[in-house]
Amino acid sequence: MPKIDIESVLRRVGSSYPAPFDEPCSTRVRQRLGDAGGLTDFGVNLLELPPGAWSSQRHWHSLEDEFVWVLEGELILIDDSGEHVLRAGDCAAFPKNDGNGHHFINRTGEVARCLEIGSRKPDQDVCEYPDIDMHIGPGREAGYTHRDGRPYPRNR
């Protein structure tokens, strides 16, 4: 049966970012629902952001489209044009290679949940982080580097 038992999907807490960039995302929780359902062309994550948590560092992808739909709570979308409030039922889209660095922050006292949906080009995609000295790619296996190419230590 294609129904996914969300309770049985692994809850991944935190991020793989090198220190100190991992700290704002240390309490975020992701469940890879697309993986649990066997999807390979695109990913679907259930993202839970406790009060104060960030979804990620502000970033954009060279080859991966992203779509986020807020299911519950309130999030602040921060992108190149400023701050935008998104509440349950609101959504946002980020086309590949548009250069619009973005992320979400939960500034409320309640947990917020959203679906993250994106294309998968894990061996080819480059991800840029405009606010910090960090870059990854092409490909996830390249690991995080400084803009000058020096590698960050890999997390365990």
What CATH code would you report for 6-145?
2.60.120.10
* Strand ranges of the sheet holding 144-145, from the earlier edge strand across to the other edge: 60-61, 127-129, 134-136, 144-145
Closest CA to 48 of 68, 27, 21: 27
* pTM to 2 decimal places: 0.94
Residue extents of the structural domains in the chain: 6-145
pLDDT in tens, 47-74: 999 999 999 999 999 999 999 999 999 9
pLDDT in tens, 111-149: 999 999 999 987 899 999 999 999 999 988 889 999 999
